[in-house]
A = this chain, B = another copy of it.
Amino acid sequence: MRSDDLLTVGEVGARTGLAASALHFYEREGLIASSRTAGNQRRYPRHMLRRISLVLVAKRLGIPLGEVAEAFRDLPMDREPTRADWQRVSRVWKVRLEERREAIVRLEKELVGCIGCGCLAMRSCDLLNPEDVLGADGTGPQRLGAVTAGRAAAASPTHGRPRTEGRGLPP
């Protein structure tokens, strides 16, 4: 056992369940930091374990690392996160969870309504015409998908920018 209170990357990995490569990655992403020995090896202060544990919580919550980094921006690297720090961060994450839950509940409602309709009368289906993009126009070309890009699609982790494309074919 080492005498001082700095941990090697292997020790941190053993205590957090993370691979060294993941710790390197988090460091590149600015989520954690380390000092170096004379021979360029990483040494972590003990309180970095707390920070890493917050990252792991966020991971379990499905928070993307970029958002974690954003939440960490005002937590200094060189001290333990305080109770107030954690409460501030966790409140934000709680809101994220609530949003996702509500989005899922909405989808469930739509889906249940849609099972009844058999989705064979497509123009009246909420699932096929989300956000009421297409009014009551019954015939002719229809846009079925086109999520309308309002970040409201919180259930699906799509990354591509939405297609910018003119409506249907000219009649």
Binding site for B on A (CB under 8 A): 11, 14-19, 49-50, 52-54, 56-57, 59-62, 83, 86-87, 90-91, 93-94, 97-98, 100-101, 104-105, 107-108, 111-112, 114-115, 118-120, 122, 127-128, 130, 141-147, 153, 155-158, 163, 165, 167-169
A11 to B97, CA, bound (A): 39
With both chains docked as a complex, state the minimum distance between the C-beta of A86 and any C-beta of chain B, in angstroms: 5
A127 & B163 in contact (Cβ 8 Å cutoff): no
**A contacts with B: majority SS:** helix
When A91-B115, A101-B104, A118-B86 are in contact, do A16 and B56 touch as well, CB less than 8 Å? no
B93 & A111 in contact (Cβ 8 Å cutoff): yes
A25 to B91, CA, bound (A): 40
A60 contacts across to B, CB distance below 8 A? 107, 127, 130, 145, 147, 153, 155-156
